Structure 1
Amino acid sequence: MIQASGLRKLYGRTVALDGVDLHVRQGEIYGVLGQSGAGKSTLLRCVNLLERPSEGTVTVAGQDLTALGDRDLNKARQRIGMIHQHFALLSSRTVAGNVAFPLEVMGVPRAERERRVAELLDLVGLGGRGGDRPAQLSGGQKQRVGIARALAGNPSVLLSDEATSALDPATTASILDLLKRLNTELGLTILLITHEMNVVKAVCDSVAIMADGRVEESGTLAELIRTPGSRLTREIFPLPAPAPGDITLTFTGQADEPVISEVVRKFGTDVSILGGAIENLAGARVGRLRVTLSGDPDPALAYLRSLGLIVEVAEGGSR
């Protein structure tokens, strides 16, 4: 649904994006994770060409946006919704007026606008609040208005720029639940910019981790969790630096199985657990465990690998 190839963006001598490739499949929630200055918001603005890349191409729904003139680009943007970090609501308009604004720009007749606005406000849980002003709303309610407005043109793609970073944890969870529901019910493809790992863990199917204008790693959460040395795995499951011979086990489907007790029974080895955690990711329970094994660990490690666990042994130990 979204394909960015070789994106570079320069601001004078400053390189904001440096050869970024991005592949977002239809119907998925794709997170772009990174700290301030990583280039993630610039990438988002390049996707709908609010910023035109210095080099590279952006294709959305099979259409090369970088090849379009202004008129065709404006038409293409109507199929790309945008949610902003600080809501970007018009204080002079009511809630309904804010949601109706893009429909007015598109020339939608008044009766159809009113029907569509009522439908959208019900969809985001604000039915009956159309006459309120933004100042009367909480932060979470304001973001729901922003989401309704972004959906006004029936977009196939929704771009979210740090949509939850100004919200408290409980409100963040409710907004993420809403985005997941919209993704499921409407088939929306969502590209979500965030600096919060909890957002990625809660709703994302795939992720790209950015730093210094580059993508350091990308893929589905399941793929990255199963990749030895993955930065995503290290950040989701922070463990102290291993000592030589320490063994790190990553479970991607066996988190609820008695794997360790089986190793003890089968191989008569003692297992010392040094740390670990279990998380729910992309609909599956995933775990990471740091252990040491007594005696010759090789038979036990071979057995664990045969079960599909990712086994990493710190330098200086048996493999």
Structure 2
Amino acid sequence: MGYVVIQASGLRKQYGETVALDGVDLHVREGEIFGVLGQSGAGKSTLLRCVNLLERPDAGTVTVAGQDLTALRDRELNRARQRIGMIHQHFALLSSRTVAGNVAFPLEVMGVPRAERRRRVAELLDLVGLGGRAGARPHQLSGGQKQRVGIARALAGNPSVLLSDEATSALDPATTQSILSLLKRLNAELGLTILLITHEMNVVKSVCDSVAIMSSGRIEESGAIADLVRTPGSRLTREIFPLPEPPPPGSVTLTFTGDPGRSLVSEVVRKFDVDVSILGGAIEELAGGAVGRLRVSITGAESQAAVAHLSSAGLLVEVAQ
């Protein structure tokens, strides 16, 4: 990944007695899909609105592509926002306009000439798979098609950053997957940096390179998913692999990338004087590849040596006390 393209530092936002953001720091690198995960009321949508200054934080700074948005006046801020696309949860389409008219709207605001608008709209509709629906009205579209229009509109100004506020929460599972696949393709083809807000772990597992988990206005943990799943005590790992807690005393929890876990368990049985029982676990396909978590019981004269062998093989090994 490249340099930090979205940087929020010390963000605080309060509504009356409610603290929506309580000293939030966020760092999103160029070209990554970064998810902010949390339940309703965690502060994640407020964080997103602060990133493009639709909500001005009470304290802290927001820098996008090297520009401190919190220091800009209204006219400068409006120009800066043109480089930040926004996808809304409930589509926010103009019912009086056609599909093409909705996508053209931000280009009209930017003063793009009509011929160029038409060319750009056609290009964008082809990009999101709606080349044949330019003349349709929003009420004639399915939910997935409406969101594709919203995505095309968000891309109209050639943004380098795309913000997504629960863009799939109003869609059925199959349509959700199609929209996530589209976002992943746009990320790869256009080099877009995508910051998406979600309460759904499946969204994070499907497309995100990195994640921040929010609760009560604070970020509990943040980082690349591949790093977090190898971090002892990670909340993300516990939520992806909800094994019973607390683990039985003496049990060993193994977390690994790829699929070496089961083969290594078989290997220690052959190499060491131990018995191994699998107590639970699973392997999940994440955006960065397969990740597994197994909980096992290792008993026998060489149990400590077997545990050390698993650790030296690169697995995250957690022994319950």
TM-score normalised over the length of structure 2: 0.97
2:65 aligned with 1:61, yes or no?
yes
1:128 shift after superposition:
1.5
2:306 aligned with 1:309, yes or no?
no
Report the counterpart of residue 77 of structure 1 in structure 2: 81
Residue aligned with 2:27, SS: strand
Match of 1:34 among 24, 35, 38: 38
2:265 aligned with 1:260, yes or no?
yes
Residue aligned with 1:2, SS: strand
Match of 1:290 among 288, 295, 308: 295
Of residues 240-249 and 39-48 in structure 1, the stretch that sits farther from structure 2 once superposed is: 240-249
- The 5-angstrom pairing of residues 1-319 of structure 1 reads 1-241=5-245, 242-255=247-260, 258-296=263-301, 297-315=303-321
Q: Distance in 1 between matches of 2:291 and 2:229?
A: 8
RMSD: 0.9
**Structure 1: which 4+ aligned runs deviate by more than 4 Å?**
none
Residue aligned with 1:258, SS: helix
1:245 shift after superposition:
0.8
Structure 1: which amino acid aligns with 2:267? E
Q: Is contact 2:21–2:218 with CA below 8 Å preserved after alignment?
A: yes
Q: Is contact 1:255–1:285 with CA below 8 Å preserved after alignment?
A: no
1:257 shift after superposition:
6.2
Percent identity for Structure 1 against Structure 2: 83
Q: Is contact 1:255–1:278 with CA below 8 Å preserved after alignment?
A: no
Structure 2: which amino acid aligns with 1:307? A
1:283 shift after superposition:
2.5
Q: Distance in 2 between matches of 1:89 and 1:141?
A: 11
How many residues align? The count is: 315
Residue aligned with 1:36, SS: coil
Q: Distance in 1 between matches of 2:261 and 2:95?
A: 51
Q: Distance in 2 between matches of 1:286 and 1:36?
A: 27
Q: Distance in 2 between matches of 1:201 and 1:139?
A: 22
Q: Which runs of 5+ in 2 are unaligned?
A: none
Residue aligned with 2:158, SS: coil
1:280 shift after superposition:
1.5
Structure 2: which amino acid aligns with 1:295? G
Q: Is contact 1:222–1:282 with CA below 8 Å preserved after alignment?
A: no
CA displacement 1:44-97 (0-9 Å, x = unmatched) = 000000000000000000000000000000000000000000000000000000
Structure 2: which amino acid aligns with 1:211? S
Q: Distance in 2 between matches of 1:16 and 1:106?
A: 33
Of residues 168-177 and 292-301 in structure 1, the stretch that sits farther from structure 2 once superposed is: 292-301
Q: Which runs of 5+ in 1 are unaligned?
A: none
Residue aligned with 1:249, SS: strand
Residue aligned with 1:7, SS: strand
Q: Is contact 1:206–1:218 with CA below 8 Å preserved after alignment?
A: yes
1:253 shift after superposition:
3.3
